[in-house]
């Protein structure tokens, strides 16, 4: 180890509690040398696997691959946690430098022909090796992953694939940073009482806090964080300001300046199409979906096509009802996208006697976190104890020690709940360390990141019901990481097929919506009184209100994603025109916009996570809606026998089994979309042709 490496905290043993990274000691300048050292170490480990004289077997090839790259994994986990949750100009500069370097490093391994020959040799001779079911699965994934990377191709094709990988990494990094810059640069300053018209106290307080964070004492600021924009659109009586913030919100990445993402999208779609052709697939969508539960683009279109006309019909009916409300109030204008949430909130109040401000007063962040923990305790026997001695990357981050039955340590859980300028928008789960047993009993360090508006000092942070659902969703992902019980790192936790990964998270949302949970944890932030039964009943009855619009927002995004990646060639792609034409084909209502317009569609273009796979949330929703029925059929939403089957086959299994086999082991069969349609209130919706 060089002298520089010897004093780099990223390359030293981490002596702190549970070997958590020493965030206070890590500075931006440590990352590049740490990455360089770790990549060199990893390549040396790969060379040693290839160079050994022994015949390939599972331990000297597959398990050796699983043991390799540990230092690189540690450095990467720290770095990419910061790039998402607490970035800076220095970190973003390093990210731009490292993205193509890391992609090139991956290609050197994934396209290593001698290494691939060893992997294939293990696969050919597996019958005599006495492999366990988990080892069989790990081996299968290695063969699949290397072939999908192009390890079997001719040298010229490999070289081009490596070049494409590096360029896509550069473009994806630039895309995400451009969106973040647009979000950071824009604020809607509310100056005076007139600008605050219609805003409830909690939103005024959050806007004041956002202004103070930006050095604008005495002002109020609405940011482009979803947790700031959406409630403003919901409550602001100032139609001109709603229009202003809405247009800024949907224009992220589409400003025409240096942060404009349209050219990046065109390049990424073209490169992905070329990559798919090199690998023998007609389109990138075919390539991507070949390694998924859905298998084919036609299967995805089949599901989305079943949901779309029902959702569109419901949304159009709701649009007409909202337009009537506009006219009843004397409005002489046609409903616009920046009006939808405002009048939908009024209509919900009118139809169900439920309004967001009232509900929010019963949903305190602390209590919803407690509810998520209590649900995990009742289902899986987990306990959560606050820890204040664990290093964190920002003072707002909180840590809990997670223990199971008998007091054994399961892992640590980190909650990073509040929006800030150094954080990307959205919500996600990640890890600082994955569970595994190959190198001992390695316990996971699991992270949830969200972007809730932080309340003023001394006041509780209040959540919308959607915020609370998001918290449960991400905690469901967190449980997938915490409860993982596998030997091999590559199949740990959330390392499953993309359209299966949302099942544990979306399933967990169901418990939030149950009276058994809300009666205990939905308590008024002033009086401490539980939510009144009549209000609770109205809230639950209104759960499917506005689901037509919400489903249209989502499905349109999924279809546009699929359309981009179904192109056989994308040279000269005109992104605005393509998006416009795709929406016109499906009859997108003018009053609703995609949940993620192309220029800020980070799921799809800020990296490769959900490219051609944004449908995954709905695919998994078919599973989660049916899966929760297992508890309902048992007559107890905390039924222990059902919870044990869920834990064993879904949460603890990671990627150790084929997803379909795992689901059938839990449920006994695969589901139909009926439970999804019923949950969204669309089962009886008329088709588009009847609307």
List the structure tokens of 608. 């490769």
DSSP string, 180-200: HHHHHH--EEE-SGGGGTT--
CB contact at 8 A, 521 and 374:
yes
Residue 249: CA atoms inside 13 Å, Cβ hemisphere, count? 25
Please state the three-class secondary structure of 94-131 as a single string: HHHHHHHHHHHHHHHHHCCHHHHHHHHHHHHCHHHCCC
Alpha carbons 648 and 656: distance in angstroms, whole number: 11
Q: Which one from 95, 209, 474, 591 is the annotated catalytic residue?
A: 474
From residue 631, give the alpha-carbon distance in Å to each of 379, 508, 512, 641, 644.
Answer: 11, 12, 14, 9, 11
d(CA 453, CA 583): 32
Strands (E), 58-182: none
In SS3 terms, 496-532 reads as CCCCCCCHHHHHHHHHHCCHHHHHHHCECCCCCCECC
**Partners of 393 in the beta sheet?**
none
H-helix segments, 150-296: 155-185, 201-213, 226-235, 239-250, 262-278, 284-289
Report the C-alpha gap between 117 and 33 in whole angstroms: 32
Of 474, 581, 460, 574, which Cα lies nearest the Cα of 525? 460
| Residue 569 structure tokens | 């060639």
Q: CB–CB of 479/651 below 8 Å?
A: yes
If we measure between CA atoms, which residue out of 66, 67, 60 comes closest to residue 122?
A: 60
Question: What is d(CA 444, CA 483) in angstroms, rounded to the nearest whole number?
Answer: 9
Residue 167 burial by Cβ neighbours in a 10 Å radius (0-12, 13-18, 19+): middle
Quote the longest CA-to-CA distance of the chain: 84
In contact, 585 and 529? CB cutoff 8 Å: no
Q: Name the one residue in this structure whose structure tokens are 């996208």.
A: 337
Q: Name the burial class of residue 257, with classes exposed (0-12), middle (13-18) and buried (19+) by CB atoms within 10 angstroms of its CB.
A: exposed
Active site residue 474: yes
Count of Cβ atoms closer than 10 Å to residue 536 Cβ = 17
Helix ranges (DSSP H) in 588-639: 602-605, 616-634
Report the distance separating Cα 297 and Cα 399, nearest Å: 41
**Collapsed DSSP state (helix, strand, coil) of residue 62:** helix
DSSP secondary-structure letter at 410?
Answer: E
Whole-angstrom CA distances from 687 to 80, 305, 316, 317, 549 are 44, 11, 11, 12, 15
Residue 293 near residue 303, CB atoms below 8 Å: no
Evaluate whether 613 touches 303 at the Cβ level (below 8 Å).
no
Rounded Cα distance between 251 and 367, Å, is 35
Phi, psi of 530 (to 5 degrees): -65, 155
Q: Catalytic residues, which ones?
A: 474
């Amino acid at each position: 180890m060089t002298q520089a490496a010897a004093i780099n905290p990223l390359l030293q043993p981490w002596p702190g509690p549970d070997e958590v990274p020493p965030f206070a000691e890590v500075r931006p300048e440590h990352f590049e040398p740490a990455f360089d050292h770790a990549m060199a170490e990893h390549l040396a480990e790969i060379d040693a696997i290839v160079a050994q004289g022994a015949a390939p077997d599972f331990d000297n090839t597959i398990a050796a691959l699983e043991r390799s790259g540990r230092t690189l994994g540690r450095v990467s986990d720290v770095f990419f946690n910061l790039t998402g949750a607490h970035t800076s100009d220095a970190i973003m500069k390093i990210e731009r430098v490292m993205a193509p370097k890391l992609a090139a490093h991956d290609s050197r391994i994934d396209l290593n022909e001698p290494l691939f020959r060893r992997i294939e040799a293990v696969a050919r001779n597996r019958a005599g090796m006495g492999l366990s079911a988990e080892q069989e699965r790990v081996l299968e994934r290695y063969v699949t992953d290397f072939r999908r990377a192009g390890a079997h191709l001719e040298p010229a094709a490999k070289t081009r694939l490596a070049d494409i990988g590096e360029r896509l990494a550069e473009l994806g990094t630039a895309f995400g940073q451009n969106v973040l810059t647009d979000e950071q640069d824009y604020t809607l300053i509310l100056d005076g009482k007139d600008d605050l018209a219609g805003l409830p106290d909690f939103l005024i307080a959050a806007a004041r806090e956002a202004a103070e964070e930006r050095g604008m004492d005495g002002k109020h600021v609405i940011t482009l964080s979803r947790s700031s924009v959406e409630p403003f659109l919901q409550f602001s009586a100032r139609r001109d300001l709603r229009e202003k913030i809405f247009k800024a919100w949907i224009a992220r990445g589409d400003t025409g300046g240096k942060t404009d993402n349209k050219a990046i999208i065109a390049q990424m779609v073209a490169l992905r199409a070329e990559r798919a052709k090199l690998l023998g697939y007609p389109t990138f969508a075919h390539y991507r979906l070949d390694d998924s539960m859905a298998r084919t683009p036609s299967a995805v279109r089949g599901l989305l096509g079943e949901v779309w006309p029902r959702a569109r019909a419901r949304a159009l009916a709701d649009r007409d009802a909202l337009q009537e409300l506009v006219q009843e109030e004397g409005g002489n204008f046609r409903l616009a996208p920046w009006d939808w949430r405002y009048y939908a909130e009024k209509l919900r109040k009118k139809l169900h006697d439920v309004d967001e401000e009232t509900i929010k007063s019963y949903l305190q962040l602390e209590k919803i976190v407690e509810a998520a923990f209590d649900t995990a305790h009742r289902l899986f026997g987990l306990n959560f104890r606050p820890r204040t001695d664990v290093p964190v990357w920002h003072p707002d981050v909180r840590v809990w020690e997670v223990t199971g039955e008998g007091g054994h340590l399961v892992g640590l859980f980190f909650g990073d709940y509040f929006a800030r300028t150094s954080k990307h928008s959205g919500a996600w789960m990640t890890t600082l360390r994955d569970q595994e047993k190959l190198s001992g009993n390695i316990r996971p360090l699991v992270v949830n990141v969200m972007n809730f508006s932080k309340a003023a000092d001394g006041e509780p942070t209040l959540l919308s019901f959607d915020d609370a659902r998001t918290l449960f969703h991400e905690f469901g992902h967190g449980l997938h990481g915490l409860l993982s019980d596998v030997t091999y790192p590559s199949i740990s936790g959330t390392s499953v097929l993309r359209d299966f990964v949302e099942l544990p998270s979306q399933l967990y949302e169901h418990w939030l919506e149950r009276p058994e949970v809300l009666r205990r944890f939905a308590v008024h932030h002033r009086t401490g009184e539980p939510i009144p039964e009549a209000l609770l009943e109205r809230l639950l009855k209104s759960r499917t209100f506005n689901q037509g619009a919400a489903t249209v927002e989502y499905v349109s995004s999924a279809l546009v994603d699929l359309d981009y990646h179904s192109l056989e060639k994308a040279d000269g792609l005109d992104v605005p025109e393509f998006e416009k034409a795709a929406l016109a084909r499906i009859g997108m209502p003018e009053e609703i916009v995609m949940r993620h317009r192309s220029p800020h569609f980070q799921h799809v273009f800020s990296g490769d996570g959900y490219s051609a796979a944004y449908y995954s949330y709905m695919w998994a929703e078919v599973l989660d809606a049916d899966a929760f029925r297992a508890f309902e059929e048992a007559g107890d939403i905390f039924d222990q026998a059902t919870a044990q089957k869920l834990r064993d086959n879904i949460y603890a299994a990671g990627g150790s089994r084929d997803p379909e086999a795992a689901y059938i082991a839990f449920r006994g069969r695969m589901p139909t979309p009926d439970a999804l349609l019923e949950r969204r209130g669309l089962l009886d919706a008329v088709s588009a042709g009847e609307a």
